[in-house]
Amino acid sequence: MHGEVTCHKARLIMQAPGRWRSGGFVAVSQGRIVEVGDLGKKPPCSKMVDHGSGILMPALVNAHTHLTLSALHERLETSKGFLAWVESLIRNSSELSPQEALRSTREAARTLRETGTGLVGEFGPFFPVEEHLAFMGLEGVVWQEFLGEERDLVAPSQTFGGLVSSLAGHAPHTTSPKLLKKIKTLCLKWDLPFSLHLAESQEEVEFLQSGQGKWARFLESRQFSFRDWDCFGLSPVKLAQRLGLLDPKTLLVHLIHVSPKEVELLAQSGVGVCVCPRSNWKLHRALPRLMEFLKAGLKPALGTDSLASVDSLSLFEEMQFTARNYPDLKPREILQMATANGARALWRQDLGLLEKGRSARMIYVELDAADPWRAEERLVIEPPALVKPVGW
Ligand SMILES: [Zn+2]
């Protein structure tokens, strides 16, 4: 009926956080899960693969990265505030050779795979990365981000394997409101996902509020004209609302400076959200209000951001940092962020959960835990020694 069916088993199977099987199997045919069941019943397989005494679970989702910045790892100024970091980013990017940037991007895509990320939200400003991601078996969305003034835009090629190419605004303090509105309108017209960094820095908040401050002076020093931008006097979230950016086909990234009322507004709009706690802490010494997000009904995804602001692209390490810095978050909620919430944020409802009919994009994690509760805790507090892609 399904052609060749391969069954995968491990001591524990996490179909979703909070939904575990001991002594079970996942039957896969042509990249799809055809059954998840108990070994007691005869599995419908032509081949059985026993992965071992660890955990079989959905592949992780890194909902926000910039792989093309990977060559900047440990080259930038991260201890003197956001503006100093941006300045060193601009300076160092211009000195990178294309070969170096390409090599490090490929290496970064390999690292994603090796650390269990099967779906990625990539912001790629420098060069097309789709083929390098596809070579590593990665799927997801590749956004080309835009800064500056309004311009003509063309529809990106729709797909590359399991990758959708789309357009994004960089941020409201670097991309003119007219251009942001235009990109979002075109994304809606072309049925593509839109994304934007929002409410990340104090500099951004101050700039939007007054058109003054450190960021305004920085833009002026670079002869960047913004005086006619119709965006001043608003918070980042209120501006995004006014520009019509808040809907379920938008993914907002960071959201550190958001008031409790704005958290409610975001939740009501159905907009997708992604947080990058390690990057936020390193660049801003600040973190988003995750507990409030969850309480309001938002379903935050997790991203690492780039190697220009974090030490690794491992989502296990991102979960570990999140667990340490949000002691009230349950391990289950953190795992949810890194799996099903991430899949939802990247419009891939077929991923992030192991059940019949979904895509068989799994990982096997070598981790010895007595029971599912202990396993959930250990998955988020200690990055495992071995992670292996299964089914992709
Ligand atoms: Zn980013």
39 and 167 in a common domain: no
pLDDT at position 157 = 76
**The pLDDT of residue 268 is above 90:** yes
Å from CA of 237 to ligand 1 middle? 17
* CA 11 to ligand 1 centroid distance, Å: 37
Distance from Cα 173 to the centre of ligand 1, integer Å: 14
pLDDT at 131 over 90: no
Nearest-angstrom CA–CA distance, 142 and 87: 25
% residues pLDDT > 90 (the chain): 82
Res. 214: pLDDT tops 80 = yes
pLDDT at position 213 over 70:
yes
Q: Tell me the C-alpha distance between 13 and 21, whole Å.
A: 5
277 belongs to a structural domain: yes
Tell me: do 302 and 279 sit in the same domain: yes
Residue from 214, 226, 128 nearest 178 by CA: 226
Residue 2 has pLDDT above 90, yes or no: no
Residue 92 within any structural domain of the chain = yes
**pLDDT > 60? residue 217:** yes
CA of 172 to the centre of ligand 1 (A): 13
Number of H helices, E strands in the chain: 14, 16
| Most confident among 38-42, 67-71, 334-338, 371-375 (mean pLDDT) | 334-338
Tokens (6 digits) for 31: 């990249």
Q: State in Å: Cα 121 to ligand 1 middle.
A: 10
Domain holding 334, by residue range, is: 60-345
Query: What is the whole-number distance in angstroms between the Cα of residue 374 and the centre of ligand 1?
Result: 33
- Read off φ and ψ for residue 308, nearest 5 degrees: -75, -15
Tokens of 213: 């401050």
Question: Average pLDDT, stretch 270-294?
Answer: 97
271 and 324, same domain (yes or no)? yes
Among the residue ranges 27-36, 121-130, 342-351, the one predicted with the least confidence is 121-130
296 C-alpha vs ligand 1 centroid, how far in Å?
Answer: 24
In one-letter notation, the amino acid at residue 11 is: R
The pLDDT score that the predictor gives to residue 173 is 97
Kindly list the distances between the CA atom of residue 339 and the CA atoms of 68, 120, 152, 357, 362, in Å, as whole numbers in the listed order. Answer: 24, 11, 36, 17, 11
230 and 378 belong to one structural domain? no
**100: domain CATH number?**
3.20.20.140
**Co-location of 139 and 267 in the same domain:** yes
Residue 209 has pLDDT above 70, yes or no: yes
Q: Looking at residues 116-143, what average pLDDT do you find?
A: 90
| pLDDT for 1 beyond 70 | no
262 CA from centroid of ligand 1 (Å): 21
Q: What is the CATH number of the domain that holds 367?
A: 2.30.40.10
Do 81 and 52 share a structural domain?
Answer: no
Question: Considering the domain boundaries, does residue 1 fall inside one?
Answer: no
62 CA → ligand 1 middle, Å: 12
Q: Comparing 9-13, 72-76, 125-129, which segment has the lowest mean pLDDT?
A: 125-129
Q: Average of pLDDT values for 149-162?
A: 83
Is there a single domain that holds both residue 48 and residue 145? Answer: no
66 shares a domain with 173: yes
Expressed in angstroms and rounded, the spacing between residue 315 Cα and the centre of ligand 1 is 15
Q: How far is the CA of 260 from the centre of ligand 1 (A)?
A: 23
DSSP letter (8 states) at residue 29: E
- The answer on pLDDT for 338 being more than 90 is yes
Same domain, 145 and 238: yes
Instruction: Tell me the average pLDDT across 341-358.
Output: 97
Residue pair 178/150 in contact by the 8 Å Cβ criterion: yes
Which stretch of 33-42, 124-133, 374-383 has the lowest confidence by average pLDDT?
A: 124-133
Phi then psi for 50, rounded to 5 degrees? -95, 110
Give the distance (Å) from ligand 1 centre to CA of residue 147: 13
**Is it the case that residue 126 has pLDDT exceeding 70?**
no
Match 């899949």 to its residue by tokens.
343
Residue 196 alpha carbon to ligand 1 centre in Å: 8
Q: Are residues 92 and 127 in the same domain?
A: yes
Task: Tell which residue, 62, 19, 21, 59, has the closest CA to residue 38.
Answer: 21
User: Do 157 and 229 reside in the same domain of the chain?
Assistant: yes
Give yes or no: residues 49 and 102 share one domain.
no
What is the number of structural domains in the chain? 2
pLDDT greater than 80 at residue 332: yes
Lowest mean pLDDT among 259-268, 297-306, 363-372: 363-372
